Chain A
C-alpha cells in the first residue's frame, strides 16, 4: 500500500482509539463531577432543614422537602437515587434523595430532601456533544493537513523515483534534482547522481574498449590477409600450395565476418541510440532480394513477395538494412532445396517464411541467442539472428519465431506511432 495511505490510516486508527477512550473518560468523569456536586447541594439542604431546630415543623413541598414527625427509630441519613413521576412532565425523572430520622427537641422527625438530576443530564449532554464535535473537527483538520503536507514533503522522493524509472541508456542524462532540506532524501539524490555518473563513465569506457578491441583485432587480420595475398601472387606456387592459401583466406574471411558481427552486436547491446527517420522499407527489401539473386538462382529458390507499393516505418536505415538482410539470408541458408521463400507484409507486420525440417527444441527456444545455430548448417558463427533481435530491441520492433505446417515463420512487428500504410 502507499505510504500516504499507511500513515493516514494509522493516524485514523490511533485517533479513533484515543478518541473513544477520551470520550468514555470524559463522559464518566463529567457525570461523576456533576453528581457529587448535586450530592453536596443535597447535604446542604438537609443540614439547612436540621438547622431549624426548635422551629422545625412538618412540611410537605414535594418533591423537594418532606418533614414529618414520626415514631420511627433514629436513622442516620442515607443518599439514594430514585425515579419519580413529576406532575409537569410525562416521563420519570431521576432524583437524588437524602432521607433520615432525626431527633429534634425530644421528638423524632423524618426528613426527606430530594434534588432533581435532570439539569445535570442536560448539562452533561451539552458538554459532551460539544467536546465530541471539537475533537472530530480537530481530527479531520489534522488528517487533511497531514495529507497535504505529505505530498509536499515526499515531492523530492517522487522526483528521484521518476528519474530512475525514466533513465535510459539510449538517452542518458545526468540528473538535476530539486532542493530538499530532508537529509534522507538528499542522500538519495546524491547516491543516484553518483550512481548515474559511474554508469555513464563505465558505458563510455566500454564503448572505447570495444572500438579499440576491434581495431586491435583487425590489424593482425589485415596483415595476415596481405601476406597471404602476396604469396598467392607469387606465381611460383603449385596448385597444392595455392589451395592451402585459398582455404586459409577463406577461414580468414570467416574470422573477419564473425568479428564484424560481434562488434555490431556489442554496439547494439550497449544501448546506444541510433538516429531514426521515416523510411520506406519496400525499396530496401527489393534491393536486398536483388542482391541475392545469384544465390537464389543457383539454389533454385524463388521468392514470392506480397508487398505494398510503399510502407513507411520509423527506423534507422543502416540497421533496418542489416535486420532484413540477416532475416533473408537466414531464410535462404535454411530453406529446403527448390522450395519457395515468402515475404509478406500486412498491417503492422512483416513475415519471412521458409520451408525446412523442424529444429530441435533447444535450438528453437534459443534461436535468437548468440552463437546458436542449427546442426544443419555449421558455417557462420550463429550471430545473424542475435543481431536481428538486438536491432529490434534498439528500434522497438518485435521479432518472433514459430514453426507451423513445416515452415519456419519469422514475424517482425513494427510498434511505433509512425508506422503507416500508404496504399
Chain B
C-alpha cells in the first residue's frame, strides 16, 4: 500500500514515515502543494494524508486534483484542532475523513485502515483476525463463528486494537478514539479498565484466545500469540 504524505513539518514527516513504514506501508512525502501536485500526477497512491496548512497554500485546493488524478485514492485531511470550519469543508469537498493535530499515531493508523477498507474492499467488509471475524458493515463480531454480544464502545475498541496489532495503546488513546472531542472532560482514564476487562471476558467466554494484554499499567496491546 502506498501512502502520500502532504505535510511541511520535517520532524513530523520523519516520525510519521517511520511509523507507517513499520506498519508495512510505502510512504512518499511532499512538503508543498507544488510538489504534491507533481507526485499526484506521476504515481499512484492508495491513501493521501493532506495537511491543510501548507507553505504555498491551503491543502483543500488539492482535493479536486486528487479526485481527478487518483479516483480510487482515499483522502484524510489533517486539520488544526478546533477548526470546525476546516473539518466541515474538508468533508464537503470530498475528503474521506479528517484527523485533528496533534493526533495519536495509532489513531491515524486506525483511520487509514478504515478509509482503505471503505475504498478498496468494495463489497468485502470483513476483517479477520484468527478466530475473530468482524463485519464492518453490519457492525457484528463473531468468535469462532459464534456471535459476540458487545456494546458499541467495545466494538470500537476491538476495531482499534485490530488496526494496531502488536502496538502498545495507551488508555488516553483509547478514550480519545471513542469519545473524541468530549475526551477532554476526563482527567483520568483509568475507567477504561472496565471496558477492556469486559471485552476480554466476552471473547474468552466464547472460546477465543485472550490476545489483549495489559502493558506495564500504561495501556494495552493486542498481539498475535
Contacts and interface: CB of A to CB of B under 8 A. Distances in A.
Given A250-B172, A329-B185, A226 B19 contact: yes
B82 A229 contact: no
Interface of B: 9, 11-12, 15-16, 18-19, 22, 53, 80-84, 101-106, 167-168, 170, 172, 179, 182, 184-188, 190-192, 194-195, 215-219
B191 A221 contact: no
Nearest to A233: B167
Contacts of B19: 226, 229-230, 233
Given A227-B15, A230-B105, A239-B216, A291 B170 contact: no
Nearest to B191: A294
A227 B215 CA distance: 19
Interface stretch (A131-139, A161-169, A255-263): A255-263
Contact of B184 (A223, A260, A318): A260
A338 B200 CA distance: 29
Contacts of A242: 168, 215-216, 218
B184 A222 contact: no
Contacts of B81: 214, 218, 256, 259-260, 263
Contact of A246 (B16, B170, B187, B194): B170
A307 B129 CA distance: 45
A227 B172 CA distance: 16
A356 B83 CA distance: 36
Contact of A226 (B15, B182, B186, B187): B15
Contacts of A335: none
Interface string A310-354: 000000001000000110110001000000000000000000000
Contacts of A379: 187-188
10 contacts: A219-B102, A226-B102, A229-B104, A242-B215, A246-B218, A294-B192, A298-B191, A318-B84, A329-B185, A380-B187
A169 B147 CA distance: 57
A225 interface: yes
B85 to A, nearest CB: 10
A333 B187 contact: yes
- Measured as residues with beta carbon below 8 angstroms from the partner, the interface class of chain A is 35 or more
A232 interface: yes
B182 A294 contact: no
Contacts of B215: 242
B218 A219 contact: no
A215 B106 CA distance: 22
A40 interface: no
Interface of A: 211, 214-215, 218-219, 221-223, 225-227, 229-230, 232-233, 239, 242-243, 245-246, 249-250, 253, 256-257, 259-261, 263-264, 267, 288, 291-292, 294-295, 297-298, 318, 325-326, 328-329, 333, 379-380
A215 B102 CA distance: 10
Contacts of A253: 172
A229 B195 CA distance: 23
Contacts of B84: 318
A325 B185 contact: yes
Contacts of A246: 170, 216-219
Nearest to A263: B82
B168 A243 contact: no
A215 B54 CA distance: 12
Nearest to B8: A219
Contacts of B53: 215
A218 B187 contact: no
A214 B81 CA distance: 8
The 5 nearest A-B residue pairs measured at CB: A222-B102, A226-B15, A294-B191, A246-B218, A329-B185
Contacts of A325: 182, 185
Contact of B190 (A214, A263, A298, A329): A298
Given A215-B80, A243-B216, A249-B172, A225 B102 contact: yes
A409 to B, nearest CB: 21
A229 B184 contact: no
Contacts of A245: 218
Given A221-B102, A325-B182, A243 B218 contact: yes
A288 B29 CA distance: 40
Contacts of B80: 211, 214-215, 218
B220 to A, nearest CB: 12
Nearest to B167: A233
